[in-house]
């Protein structure tokens, strides 16, 4: 007897739910374990979460237990996890936009050093990344547009992970020291320019390098920024202030009245509309999430309430999904020759030279000491999450191969892993006390 169609549909839905929940359980628990282990060895929890995400992919899990890996991650279509990853990334980009402090860009103290370091740490790695991408594209990413590949690799070389760097600096209690202010200000400038570059290069790639199509996309993106800043920003501020002025509704905790259920609903809808708008404009939805955060960056009560109610959930649930989604695309085993590993080591060396080296030289030129220059260099070289976002965009556009994607993931991990040990070694030589690792 053939079961009715609706019974089959119910079974398929339940099976999809089962495997999605299985994947989520594994991802969330593994991320917590990775973050805890990273902290125990003096690393940022994000480092452990990124590495665990990679290990859950074909690089380790798929290698050691291929049948179990297939069962967990490939028994059902990947669409549910992909959508959760992208929704999480939109919310994460909103959170990054909220945490962006424009005061860093107007900091008058040490302006000469900030300008020199920010400029050098963008120009040098961009040039080296472009050169690497242009020369390696025919060998490492055959069939893709050479210019697009070079531009994306250049952007990936140039980015600095401001959120992760900020957390590492807080752990070392150097955010208010002159060297901390200089580093975070230069990193903030890098981030602004980096995201603008990514948006422009994405538009250029999607326009298939047609001058007219690219000009139209750039104009539309410009209009989007103006509308969001001059119309959406005041409108959202009015809604937020009106909501915060009202008494806390019955059933909601008084301490959380700054982000009521109604305001949270409006805010989430605004984030999603912003993301849909940038998608319709021909650039990735994540830019819409980021822009909505940027326009509300000075709503301090809202930011604190968001962090309290939503921020932790985004970091514990959605962020590991993105790391694992990246890990499923990363196959270290795909670097299966001495030549491939040679290219990988060259990529890591050039990326490090571009960021660390250029930042060090600029810091010395601005009058900083040898050890201060090294501290600035190691902090500016931190890429982590921002790098992964950039290279996922490039991979989705098809302008980098899986091999190059894997190399860039390894570079992101390396550049972040060396930050904490570097600071532990060099900060005391500047006279800055560093707490003992427990």
pTM: 0.82
Please, what's the b/e burial string for 149-175 (b: 16 or more CB within 10 A of its CB; e: otherwise)?
Answer: bbbbbbbbbbbbbbbbbbebbebbebe
In a domain, 144, yes or no: yes
Percent of the chain whose pLDDT exceeds 90 = 42
In the structure encoding, which two tokens stand for residue 391, read together?
Answer: 């290279």
Q: How confident is the model at residue 297 (pLDDT cuts 50, 70, 90)?
A: confident
Residues 71 and 101 in one domain: no
Using the predicted structure, report yes or no on whether residue 406 has a pLDDT greater than 90. Answer: yes
In the structure encoding, which two tokens stand for residue 244, read together?
Answer: 């915060």
In the structure encoding, which two tokens stand for residue 142, read together?
Answer: 């055959």
Q: Whose CA is closest to 423, among 173, 187, 185, 191?
A: 173
Q: In the predicted model, what is the mean pLDDT of the chain?
A: 86
Look at residues 59, 77, 95 and tell me which one is the last residue of a structural domain: 77
Residues 389 and 404 in one domain: yes
Domain range for 150 is 80-430
- Collapsing DSSP to helix, strand or coil, 299 comes out as coil
- Report the domain count for the chain: 2
Residues 65 and 145 in one domain: no
Whole-number Å distance between alpha carbons of 408 and 406: 5
Residues 66 and 174 in one domain: no
In a domain, 436, yes or no: no
In a domain, 438, yes or no: no
Residues 244 and 211 in one domain: yes
Residues 29 and 87 in one domain: no
In a domain, 100, yes or no: yes
Residues 331 and 260 in one domain: yes
Domain with residue 138: its CATH number is 1.20.1530.20
Question: Lowest-pLDDT range, 7-11, 43-47, 143-147, 248-252?
Answer: 248-252
Name the most confidently modeled range: 65-79, 108-122, 198-212, 248-262: 65-79
Q: Whose CA is closest to 291, among 101, 95, 43?
A: 95
Residues 69 and 156 in one domain: no
In a domain, 208, yes or no: yes
Look at residues 62, 77, 92 and tell me which one is the last residue of a structural domain: 77
Residues 238 and 354 in one domain: yes
């Amino acid at each position: 007897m053939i079961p009715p169609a609706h019974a089959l549909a119910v079974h398929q839905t339940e099976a999809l739910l089962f495997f999605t929940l299985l994947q989520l359980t594994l991802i969330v628990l593994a991320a917590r374990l990775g973050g805890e282990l990273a902290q125990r060895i003096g690393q940022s929890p994000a480092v452990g979460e990124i590495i665990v995400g990679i290990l859950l992919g074909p690089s380790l899990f798929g290698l050691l237990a291929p049948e179990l890996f297939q069962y967990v991650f490939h028994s059902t279509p990947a669409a549910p996890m992909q959508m959760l990853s992208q929704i999480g990334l939109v919310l994460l980009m909103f959170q990054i936009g909220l945490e962006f402090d424009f005061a860093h860009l107007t900091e008058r103290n040490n302006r000469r050093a900030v300008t020199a370091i920010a400029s050098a740490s963008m120009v040098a790695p961009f040039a080296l990344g472009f050169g690497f991408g242009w020369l390696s594209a025919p060998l490492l990413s055959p069939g893709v547009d050479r210019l697009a590949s070079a531009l994306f690799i250049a952007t990936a070389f140039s980015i600095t992970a401001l959120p992760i760097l900020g957390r590492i600096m807080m752990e070392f209690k150097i955010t208010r020291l002159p060297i901390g202010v200089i580093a975070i200000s230069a990193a903030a400038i890098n981030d602004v320019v980096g995201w603008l570059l990514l948006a422009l290069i994405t538009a250029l790639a999607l326009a298939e390098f047609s001058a007219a199509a690219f000009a139209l996309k750039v104009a539309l993106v410009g209009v989007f920024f103006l509308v969001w800043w001059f119309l959406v920003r005041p409108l959202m501020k009015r809604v937020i202030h009106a909501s915060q002025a009202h008494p806390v509704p019955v059933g909601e905790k008084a301490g959380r009245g700054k982000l009521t259920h109604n305001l949270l609903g409006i805010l989430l809808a605004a984030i999603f509309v912003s993301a849909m708008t940038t998608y319709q404009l021909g650039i990735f939805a994540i830019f819409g999430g980021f822009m909505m955060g940027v326009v509300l960056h000075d709503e301090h009560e809202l930011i604190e309430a968001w962090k309290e109610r939503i921020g932790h959930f985004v970091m514990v649930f959605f962020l590991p999904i993105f790391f694992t989604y990246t890990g499923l695309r990363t196959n270290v085993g795909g670097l299966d020759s001495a030549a491939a590993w040679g290219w990988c080591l060259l990529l890591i060396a050039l990326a490090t030279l571009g960021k660390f080296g250029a930042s060090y030289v600029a810091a010395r030129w601005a009058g900083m000491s040898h050890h201060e220059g090294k501290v600035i260099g190691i902090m500016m070289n931190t890429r982590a999450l921002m790098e992964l976002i950039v290279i996922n965009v490039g991979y989705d556009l098809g302008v980098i191969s899986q091999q190059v994607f894997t190399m860039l993931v390894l570079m992101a991990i390396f550049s972040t892993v060396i930050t904490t040990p570097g600071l532990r070694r060099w900060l005391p030589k500047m006279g800055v006390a560093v707490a003992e690792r427990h």
